């Protein structure tokens, strides 16, 4: 019997492949992504990471006592990641402060907060695993196909580092433990959240690539 996280990835392989083959990632790897497209992602992801902090904090409030210190480390890591965004924004002349979330970014953040407040810890954790695994695999795909040094190297390095891989391994192992012995209906809910999160991850690349904006 496969582990729970392996089952999720296997059953929804088409979704995962769609994420990893997104043109945004291909162009970033090939070095022909337009500056303004990458900067759109940078600005939107800054908002996403900033708002991931309250998401994690609500999950922390629901986490078993033994997991609290891990969540504190994760939140501290997010604060450091915001610094990485600010440094790169300054180096590339990007203004992060006058930003509004685009529709997809806005909806994704609302989804995160809704799950954190209204769903079980296991369900919230499934969303966390899926989002982090999507970033690990997406940036790994960029790294593997990279043609020379990228102007966006620090972002590539951030989500392909040994430490980040170990963190995602921990998330996968913990998700498997949380799923163990759960009734089928609980596992189905977790699977639905995996699917929704993967779909948002795909849409996030799409949003950056197409410079999505509010219609009015
Ligand atoms: C992550 C991210 C990874 N930064 N943005 C999206 C849209 N999905 C996942 O999260 P983290 O906390 O930056 O590792």
User: What's the pLDDT tens digit per position in 85-104?
Assistant: 999 999 999 999 888 999 99
User: Do the beta carbons of residue 202 and residue 18 sit within 8 Å?
Assistant: yes
CA 93 / ligand 1 centre spacing (Å): 22
Q: What is the pLDDT of residue 1?
A: 63
* Residue from 27, 12, 51, 2 nearest 141 by CA: 27
* Phi, psi for 183 (deg, rounded to 5): -60, 155
Q: Which atom of ligand 1 is nearest to the CA of 159?
A: 14
Q: How far is 9 from 62, CA to CA, in rounded Å? A: 25
Q: How far is 188 from 192, CA to CA, in rounded Å? A: 6
Mean pLDDT of the chain: 97
CA 174 / ligand 1 centre spacing (Å): 19
* Predicted confidence (pLDDT) at residue 15 exceeds the cutoff of 90: yes
CA 96 / ligand 1 centre spacing (Å): 17
What's CA 106's distance to the chain center, in Å?
Answer: 14
Tell me the pTM. Answer: 0.97
Section 168-172 average pLDDT: 98
- For 20, half-sphere exposure in the C-beta direction (CA atoms, 13 angstrom radius) is 16
User: Do the beta carbons of residue 19 and residue 202 sit within 8 Å?
Assistant: yes
CA 49 / ligand 1 centre spacing (Å): 6
The residue whose CA is least distant from atom 13 of ligand 1 is 49
Q: How far is 57 from 131, CA to CA, in rounded Å? A: 16
Residues at CB less than 6 angstroms from ligand 1: 45, 48-49, 52, 78, 81, 131-132, 134-135, 201, 204
Q: What would you report as the CA-atom Rg of the chain, rounded to the nearest whole angstrom?
A: 17
Residues 6+ apart with CB under 8 A from 138: 19, 20, 22, 25, 159, 201, 205
CB atoms near residue 53 (< 10 Å): 14
Q: What band does 138 get if pLDDT is binned at 50, 70 and 90? A: very high
């Amino acid at each position: 019997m496969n582990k729970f996280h392996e089952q999720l990835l296997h059953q929804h392989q088409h979704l995962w492949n769609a994420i990893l083959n997104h043109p945004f990632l291909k162009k970033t790897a090939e070095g022909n992504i337009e500056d303004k497209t990458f900067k759109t992602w940078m600005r939107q992801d800054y908002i996403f990471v900033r708002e991931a902090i309250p998401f994690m904090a609500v999950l922390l409030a629901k986490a078993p006592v033994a997991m609290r210190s891990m969540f504190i480390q994760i939140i501290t890591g997010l604060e450091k990641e915001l610094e990485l965004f600010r440094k790169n924004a300054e180096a590339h002349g990007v203004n992060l402060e006058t930003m509004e979330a685009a529709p997809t970014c806005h909806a994704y953040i609302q989804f995160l907060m809704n799950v954190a407040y209204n769903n079980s810890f296991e369900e919230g954790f499934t969303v966390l695993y899926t989002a982090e695994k999507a970033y690990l695999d997406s940036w790994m795909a960029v790294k593997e196909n990279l043609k020379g040094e990228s102007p966006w190297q620090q972002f590539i390095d951030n989500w392909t580092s040994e430490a980040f891989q170990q963190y995602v391994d921990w998330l996968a192992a913990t998700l498997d433990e949380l799923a163990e012995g759960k009734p089928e209906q609980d596992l189905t809910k977790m699977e639905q959240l995996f699917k929704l999160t993967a779909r948002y991850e795909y849409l996030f690349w799409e949003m950056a690539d197409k410079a999505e904006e509010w219609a009015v």
